[in-house]
């Protein structure tokens, strides 16, 4: 038996046999040796043992040079500035269409440590189907709620130079450097920023932030690092990558997004429409090329993330081989055509709307507003969609209309209801 505690003293007890207790204002469940104690009958009235908490049957596997065992549920660990906002929209749309249960806390609170007391309950008699919020990866705890036998464990990594550039701008470090040093080149601004960070040593990495080695942090580096304090930095990185290799069934690559989505689709038994996304925000800034010297310096500081990316960029080739290179290439071509057609129907690229994020945002067409409202759903920020998913799951009935934000130019309950009706009537998304 071990406990997970949060900063308010609430705790979760998890036994070696897989039983667990959740103390929550929303859900209070004790599962042990086939006995269920439920203080809210509405939450989970049909569970009779811990095995029933999870789905155990996979779909028939695909055929290729080797069999691919399809898993029904997805544990996706988000990483900062790796394109995960787009993926969350995709996952949420699938969840709404199929009325899936998300492993999440209410609304837009991210989980730095798993806070079981606030987990939204699944519908009675069902299981958690998906996790796609920002959490720090803690596999021992997460296996208890979404076991690897029935859940695909996945994450996404990005070229460390590209990821740093995105984070440097998004988290306003570029803005702060310009305020202090004036209108210098991007190379000079990055140089000033890195000057303030300690360089890696034989035993220590640079201080981790949202711009430096943030992928490692998201994937659980801090706890792993504390367990290997006497080891050199390289020994810790090697062990950490080996640990991730064992835990992650598939690591996506931001720089190869469409290929990644096709492979993910194959591993989960999804359709092409289940991975459809929109490029609805485009940066108006011209692309900036960094000097080789600046790139080398970024890689020096991104020492953990760089090695994580290099490793999984190589193992990505194994997944391509497993699914079939020709098959993936063919499906990518088909997907690109479908997605572009879908996007052109959804968005009027000749007309933009105001966007507080300073990027270009195209207007939704009448088709996207009234006929295929999945277009409207997909162009929303994950924060609003998280509220939608929260209220759906709290209702315990995924067909109950919910109230959307009054500041939005549409009512989310109408959007959700139409998406579900279209799915129930077998109307294609694209």
Q: Name the pLDDT band for 354 (thresholds 50, 70, 90).
A: low
Is the pLDDT confidence value at 69 over 60?
Answer: yes
Here the contacts of 316-324 (C-beta below 8 Å, separation 24 or greater) are 316/251, 316/253, 316/256, 316/259, 316/260, 319/250, 319/263, 320/259, 320/263, 321/65, 322/64, 322/65, 322/66, 322/68, 323/62, 323/64, 323/68, 323/262, 323/263, 323/266, 324/64, 324/65
Residue 396, pLDDT score: 67
Question: In the predicted model, is pLDDT for residue 408 greater than 80?
Answer: no
Contacts 24+ apart (CB under 8 A), 179-187: 186/288, 186/290, 186/294, 187/290, 187/291, 187/293, 187/294
Spatial distance between the Cα atoms of 154 and 161, rounded to a whole number of angstroms: 22
8-state DSSP, 253: E
Asked whether the predicted pLDDT for residue 149 surpasses 80, the reply is yes
Predicted local distance difference test score (pLDDT) of residue 125? 82
Task: Over range 332-355, report the average pLDDT.
Answer: 89
pLDDT per position as a tens digit, 323-340: 999 999 999 999 999 999
Per the listing, tokens 């208890």 go with: 144
pLDDT at 383: 79
Kindly tell me if the per-residue pLDDT of 84 is higher than 70. Answer: yes
Sheet order of strands, 250-253 included:
130-131, 73-77, 151-157, 250-253
Give dist(CA 286, CA 81) in Å, integer: 19
| Closest to 205 in 3D by CA, of 330, 66, 308, 67 | 308
Contact 12, 117 (CB under 8 A): yes
Looking at residue 269, its pLDDT comes to: 96
Residue-level pLDDT at 307: 98
Choice between 255 and 391, residue whose per-residue pLDDT is larger: 255
pLDDT at residue 63, rounded to an integer: 38
pLDDT in tens, 162-190: 999 999 999 999 999 999 999 999 999 99
pLDDT over threshold 70, residue 415: yes
> What integer pLDDT is reported at residue 395 of this predicted model?
77
> What mean pLDDT is predicted for residues 58-68?
44
Q: Which two tokens stand for residue 330?
A: 């063919």
CA atoms within 13 A on the CB side of 44: 26
pLDDT at 45: 29
167's enclosing H/E stretch is helix 160-170
Sheet containing strand 347-353, strands side by side: 281-282, 360-364, 347-353
**Single pTM value for the model:** 0.81
CB 210, CB 112: distance < 8 Å: no
Sheet holding 29-32, edge to edge: 2-5, 11-14, 20-22, 29-32, 35-38
Residue 279 — pLDDT band, cuts 50, 70, 90?
confident
Burial class (CB in 10 A: 0-12, 13-18, 19+), 226: exposed
Look-up: residue for tokens 């086939």? Answer: 34
| Nearest-angstrom CA–CA distance, 16 and 36 | 17
User: Which band of pLDDT confidence, cut at 50, 70 and 90, is reported for residue 356?
Assistant: low
pLDDT in tens, 123-137: 888 899 999 988 899
Count other Cβ atoms within 10 Å, centred on residue 228: 14
| pLDDT, position 425 | 87
pLDDT of residue 12: 34
Q: How far apart are CA 97 and CA 92, in angstroms?
A: 9
């Amino acid at each position: 038996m071990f406990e997970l505690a949060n900063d308010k003293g609430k705790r979760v007890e998890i036994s070696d046999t897989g039983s667990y207790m959740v103390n929550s204002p929303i859900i209070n469940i004790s599962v042990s040796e086939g006995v269920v104690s439920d203080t809210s009958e509405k939450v989970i009235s049909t569970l009779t043992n811990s095995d029933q908490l999870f789905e155990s049957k996979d779909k028939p596997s695909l055929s290729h040079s080797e069999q691919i065992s399809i898993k029904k549920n997805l544990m996706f660990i988000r990483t900062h500035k790796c394109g995960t906002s787009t993926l969350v929209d995709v996952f949420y749309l699938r969840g709404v269409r199929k009325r899936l249960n998300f492993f999440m806390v209410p609304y837009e609170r991210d989980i730095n440590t798993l806070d079981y007391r606030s987990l939204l309950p699944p519908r009675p008699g069902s299981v958690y189907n998906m996790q796609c919020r920002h959490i720090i990866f803690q596999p021992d705890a997460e296996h208890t709620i979404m076991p690897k036998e029935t859940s695909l464990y996945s994450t996404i990594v990005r070229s460390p130079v590209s990821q740093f550039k995105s984070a440097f701008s998004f988290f306003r470090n570029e803005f702060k450097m310009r305020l202090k040093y004036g209108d210098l080149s991007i190379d000079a601004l990055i140089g000033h920023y890195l000057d303030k960070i300690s360089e890696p040593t034989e035993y220590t990495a640079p201080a981790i932030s949202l711009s430096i080695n943030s992928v490692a942090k998201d994937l659980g580096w801090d706890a792993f690092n504390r367990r290997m304090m006497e080891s050199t930095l390289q020994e810790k990185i090697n062990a950490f990558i080996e640990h991730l290799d064992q835990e992650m069934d598939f690591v996506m690559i931001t720089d190869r997004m469409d290929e990644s989505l096709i492979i993910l689709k194959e591993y989960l038994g999804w359709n092409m429409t289940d991975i459809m996304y929109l490029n609805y925000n485009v940066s108006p800034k011209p692309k900036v090329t960094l000097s080789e010297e600046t790139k080398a310096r970024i890689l020096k500081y991104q020492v953990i993330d760089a090695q994580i990316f290099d490793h999984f960029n190589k193992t990505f080739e194994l997944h391509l081989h497993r699914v079939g290179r020709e098959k993936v290439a063919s499906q990518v071509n088909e997907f690109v055509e479908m997605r572009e057609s879908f996007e052109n129907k959804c968005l009027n690229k000749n007309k933009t709307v105001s966007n507080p994020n300073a990027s270009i945002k195209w207007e939704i067409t009448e088709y996207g507003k009234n006929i295929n409202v999945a277009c409207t759903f997909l162009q929303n920020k994950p924060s609003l969609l998280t509220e939608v998913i929260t209220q759906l799951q709290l209702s315990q009935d995924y067909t109950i209309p919910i109230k959307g934000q009054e500041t939005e130019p549409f009512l989310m309950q109408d959007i959700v209801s139409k998406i579900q009706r279209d799915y129930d009537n077998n109307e294609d998304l694209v």
